[in-house]
Amino acid sequence: MANKSIDHAFTARSLTSAASDPTYAGALSFMRRKYTKTLKGADAVVWGIPFDAAVSNRPGARFGPQAIRRASAILDNDPQYPFNRDLFEAMPVIDYGDCLLDYGNHQKTPATIEREATKILASGAFLMSMGGDHFVTWPLLKAHAAKHGPLALVQFDAHQDTWFDDGKRIDHGSFVGRAVRDGVIDPSRSIQVGIRTHAPEDCGIRILYGHEIEDMTAAQISQTILDHVGGAACYLTFDIDCLDPAFAPGTGTPVAGGPSSARMLSVLQKLGGLDIKGADIVEVAPAYDHADITAIAGAAVAMQYLGLLAERRARR
C-alpha cells in the first residue's frame, strides 16, 4: 500500500498521473482526473452541464454528470480498453466540475453554457461535456462554431431533433434544425445515426435509421460516417437513447429497436480519422436506470472520446 493513494481527484500532483483509488472509494471525478478550475496545461477538459428543463418526456438528466462520474470509476485503471494505453500518460486531462445554472431562470441557460464553454475553448483544450438533456448541445455547438466555423454534426440518437423552433425555445427536440438555419452546422456534411422516429424535416442531414444500422457491421457504419464527413471539422454528440433501452433504460425518451452499446462503442473506436473539435454525452437520467447500466454506457462513450483524442495526440 506504500505507493497507493486515495482521493486522486484532489491529491493528484500531475495532470497526467494515474490514479490508484479503489474502485469503490475515493472522490468521484471523471476517471479520477484532477478537479480544478485552472485550465493551464490541460489538453482536454471534462465538464458537466446538469440541466434537464428542456425535456419533452421524463426529466432527470440533470443528475447525468454525477452518474457518469460515478460509473467512470471502473475505467480509471490503465491501460484503457480498447486503446491498450494509459490515456493520460501523455495527455493532461482535468475535470472542470459543473456549469452553475439558475434553475429559476432558464432563459439565461443557453448564454451561460456558451459563455463558459467559450472560456474553456479559448485555453486551447478539447472540451468533452456531459449533460444534461440534449438542449445543452445547442450552446456548445455555438461556442465551438465560433472558434472553428460551421461544423459537421455527427449525432448518435433515436431522434432527429429537428422539430419546430422559433429561435427562442428551450427544447431538446429542436436544436438541430435551429443549428442548420443559423449556419452553426453544415447539413451537407452532417449525419445522424440510429434514428428511430420521424420528424417533419431532415434539414438536408444524412440519416442512418435504426433498421438500416441493424443490417450493418460496426465497420460499415463507421466507414459511412467517415466517408460522409470527410475532412470537415466536426462535433460528436451522443444521446444515450441512441442505444436500445435494453442497454440504456435510464433516459428520458427511450425508443425500442436500437443498437447495442457494444456495437456503438465499436463504431466510435473506428472514428479516429475524423477531425473532432468537441464532443458530448447527454440524456443519461439515472432515476430510470438499473444497476448503473446506462451510466456505465455513458461513461464508456465519454472514455472513447478521450481515447480517440489520445491516439490523435500520439500520431503527432
Higher per-residue pLDDT: 184 or 21: 184
Task: Name the strands in the sheet holding 152-156, side by side, starting at the edge strand that comes first in the sequence.
Answer: 34-35, 93-98, 44-49, 126-131, 275-282, 233-239, 152-156, 191-195, 206-209
CA 46 to chain centre: 10
- Domain CATH for 59: 3.40.800.10
For residue 4, pLDDT beyond 80: no
In whole angstroms, what is the distance from residue 161 CA to residue 122 CA?
A: 28
Give the per-residue pLDDT at 310. 94
Determine whether 152 is exposed, middle or buried from the number of CB atoms within 10 Å of its CB (0-12, 13-18, 19+).
buried
Dihedral sign for Cα atoms in the order 251, 255, 257, 258: negative
Which of 104-118, 159-173, 269-283 is the least confident region? 159-173
**Beta-ladder partners of 233:** 275
Higher per-residue pLDDT: 164 or 159: 159
Q: State pLDDT tens for residues 97-155.
A: 999 999 999 999 999 999 999 999 999 999 999 999 999 999 999 999 999 999 999 99
Collapsed DSSP state (helix, strand, coil) of residue 195 = strand
Q: Is residue 23 part of a domain?
A: yes
Q: What is the DSSP letter of 77?
A: S
For residue 2, pLDDT beyond 80: no
Which of 158-162, 229-233, 310-314 is the least confident region? 310-314
Residues near 253 by Cβ (< 8 Å), separated by ≥ 6? 55, 56, 57, 58, 158, 159, 241, 283
Query: Averaged over 244-250, what is the pLDDT?
Result: 98
Q: Is residue 2 part of a domain?
A: no
Give the per-residue pLDDT at 3. 67
For residue 276, pLDDT beyond 60: yes
Q: Is residue 51 part of a domain?
A: yes
For residue 77, pLDDT beyond 90: no
Query: Averaged over 285-301, what is the pLDDT?
Result: 98
Percentage of the residues of the chain whose pLDDT score is greater than 90: 88
Q: What is the DSSP letter of 155?
A: E
Mean pLDDT of the chain: 95
Domains in the chain, number: 1
pTM of the model: 0.96
Percentage of the residues of the chain whose pLDDT score is greater than 70: 99
Q: Is residue 3 part of a domain?
A: no
Q: Which domain holds residue 34?
A: 8-315
152 close to 229: Cβ distance less than 8 angstroms? yes
Residues near 299 by Cβ (< 8 Å), separated by ≥ 6? 30, 31, 68, 69, 71, 72, 74, 75
Give the per-residue pLDDT at 242. 98
